[in-house]
């Protein structure tokens, strides 16, 4: 076999692969994005046309969509719910990242008596379904007098077993030599965490922050029982008002309420996604 | 003296440990206590020994829910992760704008809260005129009643599930992929490894800790599957699980027993039975990993 | 135990506070269904509240809306932590659960203390639903529904059916459905999918007197002969139905686009159909549901209710609840929403009586059966509902014939209740 044909074969393989990967990527992108695009079209459609008969491939009426959005924003506590939910999500993220990364730093990089037991317990709690704990947790929050408060929403979720697990898995890959070197230089334990471990696990932190934001934004059951007052309704609860099965609302209004609920996370993601990429790429080039 | 050396470690773990003890450990222990009681959350609990566990294990819904769960997990976990890994590799093979573009597109479903994803897919799946059936119609296939035909309901759920979770796992895997030093690939390429071989011998072993996380977490969350099937079947506390309970899962059954029948003791016992199953699963996973690593 | 101590302490402090400062504002938490807290309904509720607050200085009512399940879970959680809403709505079908957790006060004394004239305003059957045993009353019935049958006149006329007289019996109805199918359209939604539509068919094709549960004996009241006839209706409808449940949006869309002839459901569907009639020329009407024999009608009914929580605010809460349900308010409420409610006197008010949907509902309620009687006695287990729908679909799918299905159904229901 001459080297020319081998080269040709490699080039051919390269081209088919390139072609295929584009086709594949575009197909998957369509499947992923279309349902959301469809929801958008339902909202921005001429009123009165039944939703499920007409496939809605593109929006038809900007004004009717805008007027529906206006009605909902005026008549429901949507704007306040945005603030409440953003506060809820941000406080949860900050608290979880701080507390979780401090603990993960220890669990991933050091040994101390009781570590295995504690970590085992945390992992165990990941396996207990929420239904089991929701009423006892609720009763505890009630006794603390935290019903209908922000701390009632946020604090019980801070010690996230999921977050700890994710951070520990990432921090295990941190280079121990750097930590040893810093210790030999006389850096304090907290300084090593703050100046070395945290910056190095930035990608994991960003990932956890995004995922936590999405989870908090979509969280429904917990705010519902712990914060039943309308002044502290989250977006999930406000949308729940529209999604009730026997609601007299027509579909396009229901879908508008739903669209308003996803708009902030959607924008958040689209705006910050470059930052997210940079974060991931930068810490990736450590080798 | 030894304790003093460990002090900084405990100090760092303390905030987490305290919150964890108060809001996870205590509720779990209290839940465990109630699982042996006849308890409706409002009135005094009455000790009834193992009766709750017995009632759950003997009920026909439990058997049905566990069977559904078994099939569901056996498909959705490997499929979901395979898809996520494929997507991560696919995105990783692009650079610049397009890598960015496709990653955003694939991640988009994760942005949707579960209730919305399920609401949209209920429409997509509608018989005769839903979008999926319309596409099938273009290829001359008959309409399928996805959410009401006991033969298709589970697969319809799995499709939604993969749609929702693939982007989530992809992001985690991508972060891991970015951490693999490029020189390893170069070395493999110099050794004449094909693209697939590079995946097999460089990517997967280097991704192992992250993959392990994704698989374990996938298992644990699949075992607790709740909101998507709940909404796809239009369930409420008093009637749930869909046609002939084809989409009945343990957590749904628990919610129904708790808030529909106000038998919180029974629901808690149900929860601990499920926890036991989850622990078994995870122990097997950890065991497998421990068995593989020394090699 | 800690929580009960806290509750006692809280009660003690509030007792002291109210003793010394009886005139300070008394805040009542008032929970309503989410669609009563939106749009015009919200405005009218706020009007009621303003009137009540003006008449009762010191009372302040905080209203919040929530979906059906969220009402129930919120009330259960509230009962557990001693933070119940003072006045709230819910459905009769979860009444027993709410009694069990102590969320509902027995308002019989308050009810009896009201003038006869007030008590006579209400539909007697609806009041009976709230009173499971003598000297016990857990609710004031509020809005409600009796099922009606929406007919798409375009579809029916295209199938060559005379729409002047609606089908009176199941046989007549089935004959029309078959004609619709022959003309290439769907006749009905899939009635096996949800419990309420199965119940509805039991009231149409089966026996209305054999329906419900005997909680003392832990047995179903369903008997084999009636069940056989009811289950046979699902077999007959199998080739005629659309595959969507009666609650699916898809069903409404099929009806609006002239693909579906009949839709047996409550009045809440009417706004969608009314809108379609205006915008896309839908031609439809609503009639009473056919019955087992001529002159009778089937279908189900149920009520939402207003309940009062036991506790320190009970007195003022009752006052508010009785104000809400009084004839004047109920008439305004009915007129605004064009929805039937349990205040029979309000239904007779001329401007309410002029609304066709209400007139039809008043009539439908007379014939319809309760969905899950008896109320406030025992919790209907989930298996009871799923066995009903499962057996209906199994018989429709041909797994059993109707007679075997009926036997199987009764055996399984009794087994479910025995646990």
Q: What is the CATH number of the domain that holds B64?
A: 1.10.3720.10
For residues B15-37, give the mean pLDDT: 93
pLDDT band per the 50, 70, 90 thresholds, residue B219: confident
Query: Any idea which of A122-131, C126-135, C201-210, C404-413 has the lowest mean pLDDT?
Result: A122-131
B-proximal residues of A, 165-184, CB under 8 Å: 165-166, 169-170, 172-173
Rounded to an integer, what distance in angstroms lies between the CA atom of residue A175 and that of residue B93?
Answer: 27
Q: Is B271 within 8 Å of A266 when comparing Cβ atoms? A: no
- Could you count the other beta carbons within 10 Å of the beta carbon of residue C183? 16
Percentage helix, strand, coil, to 5, in chain C?
A: 55, 15, 30
Residue A262 with chain B: CB contacts under 8 Å: 111-113, 116
Rounded to an integer, what distance in angstroms lies between the CA atom of residue C210 and that of residue B258?
Answer: 30
Q: Is B23 within 8 Å of A155 when comparing Cβ atoms? A: yes
To the nearest whole Å, the CA of B150 is away from the closest chain A CA by 22
For residues C312-316, give the mean pLDDT: 93
Instruction: Answer left, alpha or beta for residue A219, where phi above 0 means left and psi between -120 and 50 means alpha.
Output: beta
C199 close to C300: Cβ distance less than 8 angstroms:
yes
Closest CB to C72 among B43, B237, B239: B237
For residues C78-93, give the mean pLDDT: 92
The per-residue pLDDT of chain B, averaged, comes to: 87
Architecture of domain C17-138+302-367: 3-Layer(aba) Sandwich (3.40)
Decide: residue B237, CB within 10 A, 0-12 exposed, 13-18 middle, 19+ buried.
buried
Scanning chain B, the segments in alpha helix (DSSP H) are 2-20, 26-34, 51-58, 60-92, 96-111, 114-124, 131-138, 153-178, 182-190, 195-198, 204-223, 227-232, 250-255, 264-292
A-proximal residues of C, 246-265, CB under 8 Å: 247, 249-250, 252-254, 256-257
Rounded to an integer, what distance in angstroms lies between the CA atom of residue B237 and that of residue B267?
Answer: 13
To the nearest whole Å, the CA of B42 is away from the closest chain C CA by 4
Looking at mean pLDDT, say which of A56-70, B216-230, C69-83, C322-336 comes out highest.
C322-336
Closest CB to A51 among C3, C249, C266: C249
Q: What are phi and psi of B47, to 5 degrees?
A: -65, 130
To the nearest whole Å, the CA of C29 is away from the closest chain A CA by 9
To the nearest whole Å, the CA of A92 is away from the closest chain C CA by 23
Note if the bond before C374 is cis, omega within 30 degrees.
yes
CA atoms C45, C50, C51, C52: torsion sign: positive
pLDDT band per the 50, 70, 90 thresholds, residue B221: confident
B-proximal residues of A, 59-88, CB under 8 Å: none
Record the pTM. Answer: 0.86
Q: Is A25 within 8 Å of B130 when comparing Cβ atoms? A: no
Q: Is A251 on the interface with B (CB under 8 A)?
A: no
Is the pLDDT at C164 greater than 70, yes or no?
A: yes
Is the pLDDT at C15 greater than 50, yes or no?
A: no
CATH of A76-284, one of 3.40.50.1820, 1.10.3720.10, 3.90.1150.10, 1.10.760.10: 1.10.3720.10
Q: Which fold has domain C148-299+377-418?
A: D-Maltodextrin-Binding Protein; domain 2 (3.40.190)
Residues of chain C with CATH 3.40.190.10: 17-138+302-367, 148-299+377-418
Percentage helix, strand, coil, to 5, in chain A?
A: 75, 0, 25
Is the pLDDT at A7 greater than 60, yes or no?
A: yes
Rounded to an integer, what distance in angstroms lies between the CA atom of residue A137 and that of residue B31?
Answer: 9
Decide: residue B73, CB within 10 A, 0-12 exposed, 13-18 middle, 19+ buried.
middle
What confidence score (pLDDT) does residue B41 get? 86
Name the residue with higher pLDDT: B141 or C360: C360
What confidence score (pLDDT) does residue B293 get? 59
To the nearest whole Å, the CA of A90 is away from the closest chain B CA by 16
pLDDT band per the 50, 70, 90 thresholds, residue B92: confident
A122 close to A164: Cβ distance less than 8 angstroms:
yes
Query: Any idea which of A52-61, A75-84, A181-190, B89-98 has the lowest mean pLDDT?
Result: A52-61
Rounded to an integer, what distance in angstroms lies between the CA atom of residue A126 and that of residue A162?
Answer: 7
Q: Is B213 within 8 Å of A29 when comparing Cβ atoms? A: no
What confidence score (pLDDT) does residue C10 get? 44
Rounded to an integer, what distance in angstroms lies between the CA atom of residue B245 and that of residue B236?
Answer: 13
Which chains does chain C touch, 3 or more C-beta pairs < 8 A? Answer: A, B
Q: Is C382 within 8 Å of B42 when comparing Cβ atoms? A: no
Distances (CA, A) of B30 to A46, B27, B254, B264, C394: 54, 5, 17, 12, 42
* A20 bridge partner residues: none
Of A207, C73, C42, the C-alpha closest to B169 is A207
Q: Is C243 on the interface with A (CB under 8 A)?
A: no
Total structural domains within chain B? 1
Over its C-alpha atoms, chain A yields an Rg (Å, rounded) of 25
Q: Is B120 within 8 Å of A129 when comparing Cβ atoms? A: no
A247 close to C35: Cβ distance less than 8 angstroms:
yes
C365 close to C146: Cβ distance less than 8 angstroms:
yes
Question: What are the structural domain ranges in chain A?
Answer: 3-68, 76-284
How many contacts, defined by CB atoms under 8 Å, are there between A and C?
A: 105
Torsion (CA) A163, A168, A174, A179 in degrees, nearest 10? 110
For residues B19-25, give the mean pLDDT: 93
Is the pLDDT at B52 greater than 70, yes or no?
A: yes
How far apart are the two ends of chain A, measured CA to CA in Å? Answer: 39
Rounded to an integer, what distance in angstroms lies between the CA atom of residue B250 and that of residue B252?
Answer: 5
Angle (deg, nearest 10), helices A202-218 and A251-284? 170
The tally of CA atoms less than 13 A away on the side-chain side of residue B39 is 25
């Amino acid at each position: 076999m001459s080297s020319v044909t081998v080269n040709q074969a490699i080039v051919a393989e390269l081209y088919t692969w390139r072609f295929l990967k584009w086709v594949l990527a575009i197909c998957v992108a369509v499947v992923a994005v279309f349902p959301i695009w469809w929801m958008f079209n339902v909202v921005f459609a001429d009123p009165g046309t039944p939703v499920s008969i007409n496939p809605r491939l593109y929006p038809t009426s900007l004004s009717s969509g805008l007027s529906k959005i206006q009605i909902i924003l005026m008549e429901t506590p949507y704007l306040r719910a945005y603030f409440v939910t953003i506060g809820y999500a941000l406080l949860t993220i900050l608290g979880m990242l701080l507390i979780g990364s401090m603990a993960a730093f220890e669990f991933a990089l050091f040994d101390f008596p009781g570590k295995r037991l504690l970590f085992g317990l945390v992992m165990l709690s990941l396996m207990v379904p929420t239904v089991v704990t929701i009423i006892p947790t609720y009763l505890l929050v009630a006794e603390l007098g935290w019903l209908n408060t922000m701390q009632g929403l946020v604090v019980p979720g801070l010690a996230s077993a999921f977050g700890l697990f994710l951070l520990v898995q990432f921090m295990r890959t941190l280079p121990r030599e750097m930590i040893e070197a810093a210790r030999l230089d006389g850096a304090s334990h907290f300084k090593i965490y703050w100046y070395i471990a945290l910056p190095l696990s930035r990608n994991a932190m960003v990932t956890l922050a995004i995922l936590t934001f999405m989870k908090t934004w979509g969280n429904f059951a917990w705010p519902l029982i712990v914060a039943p007052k309308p002044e502290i309704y989250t977006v999930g609860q406000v949308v729940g008002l529209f999604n009730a099965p026997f609601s007299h609302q027509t579909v396009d209004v229901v879908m508008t309420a739903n669209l308003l609920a996803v708009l902030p996370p959607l924008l958040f993601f689209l705006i910050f996604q470059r930052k997210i990429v940079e974060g991931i790429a930068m810490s990736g080039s450590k080798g | 003296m030894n304790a003093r050396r460990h002090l900084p470690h405990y100090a760092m773990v303390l905030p987490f440990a305290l919150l964890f003890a108060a809001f996870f450990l205590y509720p779990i222990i209290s839940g465990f206590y109630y699982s042996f009681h006849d308890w409706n959350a409002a009135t005094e609990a009455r000790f009834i020994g193992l009766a709750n566990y017995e009632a759950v294990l003997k009920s026909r819904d439990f058997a049905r829910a566990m069977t559904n769960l078994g099939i569901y997990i056996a498909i959705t976990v490997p499929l979901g992760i395979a898809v996520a890994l494929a997507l991560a590799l696919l995105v990783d093979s692009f650079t610049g704008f397009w890598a960015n573009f496709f990653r955003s597109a694939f991640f988009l479903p994760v942005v949707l809260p579960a209730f919305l994803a399920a609401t949209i897919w209920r429409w997509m799946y509608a018989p005769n005129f839903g979008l999926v059936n319309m596409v099938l119609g273009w290829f001359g296939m008959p309409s399928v009643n996805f959410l009401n035909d006991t033969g298709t309901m589970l697969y319809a759920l799995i499709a939604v599930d993969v749609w929702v979770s693939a982007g989530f796992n992809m992001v985690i895997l991508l972060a891991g992929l970015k951490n693999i030093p490029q020189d390893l690939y170069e070395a493999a390429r110099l050794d004449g490894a094909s693209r697939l071989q590079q995946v097999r011998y460089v990517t997967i072993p280097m991704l192992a800790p992250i993959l392990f996380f994704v698989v374990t977490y996938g298992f644990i969350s699949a075992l607790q599957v709740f909101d998507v099937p709940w909404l796809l079947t239009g369930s409420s506390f008093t009637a749930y699980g869909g046609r002939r309970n084809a989409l009945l899962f343990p957590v749904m059954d628990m919610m129904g027993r708790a808030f529909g029948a106000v038998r919180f003791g029974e629901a808690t016992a149900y929860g601990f039975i499920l926890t036991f199953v989850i622990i078994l699963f995870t122990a097997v996973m950890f065991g497998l990993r421990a068995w593989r690593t020394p090699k | 135990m800690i929580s009960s101590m806290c509750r006692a302490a809280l009660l003690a402090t509030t007792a002291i506070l109210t003793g010394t400062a009886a005139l300070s504002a008394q805040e009542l938490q008032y929970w309503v269904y989410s669609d009563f807290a939106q749009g015009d309904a919200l405005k009218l509720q706020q009007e009621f509240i303003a009137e009540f607050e003006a008449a009762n200085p010191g009372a302040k009512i905080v209203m919040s809306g929530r979906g059906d399940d969220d009402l129930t879970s919120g009330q259960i959680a509230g009962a557990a932590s001693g933070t119940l809403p003072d006045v709230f709505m819910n459905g009769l079908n979860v009444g027993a659960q709410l009694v069990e957790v102590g969320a509902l006060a027995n308002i019989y004394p308050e009810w009896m203390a009201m003038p006869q004239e007030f008590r006579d305003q209400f539909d007697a059957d609806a009041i009976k639903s709230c009173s499971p045993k003598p000297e016990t009353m857990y609710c004031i019935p509020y809005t409600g529904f009796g099922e009606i049958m929406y007919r798409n006149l375009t579809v029916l006329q295209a199938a060559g059916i005379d729409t002047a007289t609606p089908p009176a019996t199941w046989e007549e109805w089935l004959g029309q459905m078959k004609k619709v199918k022959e003309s290439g359209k769907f006749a009905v939604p899939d009635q096996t999918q949800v419990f309420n539509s199965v119940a509805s068919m039991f009231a149409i094709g089966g026996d209305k007197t054999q329906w419900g549960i005997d909680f003392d004996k832990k047995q179903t009241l369903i008997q084999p002969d009636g069940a056989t006839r009811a289950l046979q209706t699902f077999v007959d409808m199998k080739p005629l139905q659309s595959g969507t449940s009666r609650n699916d949006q898809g069903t409404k869309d099929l009806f609006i686009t002239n693909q579906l002839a009949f839709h047996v459901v409550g009045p809440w569907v009417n706004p969608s159909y009314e809108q379609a009639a205006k915008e896309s020329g839908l031609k439809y009407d609503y009639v009473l549901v056919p019955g087992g024999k001529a002159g009778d009608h089937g279908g189900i009914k149920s009520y939402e209710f207003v309940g009062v929580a036991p506790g320190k605010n009970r007195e003022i809460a009752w006052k508010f609840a009785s104000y809400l349900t009084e004839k004047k308010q109920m008439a305004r409420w009915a007129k605004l929403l064009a929805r039937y409610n349990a205040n029979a006197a309000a239904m007779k008010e001329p401007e309410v009586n002029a609304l066709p949907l209400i007139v039809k509902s008043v009539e439908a309620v007379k014939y319809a059966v309760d969905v899950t009687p008896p109320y406030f006695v025992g919790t209907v287990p989930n298996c009871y509902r799923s066995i009903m729908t499962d057996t209906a679909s199994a018989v429709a799918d041909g797994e059993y014939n109707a007679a075997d299905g009926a036997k199987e159904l009764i055996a399984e229901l009794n087994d479910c209740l025995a646990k």
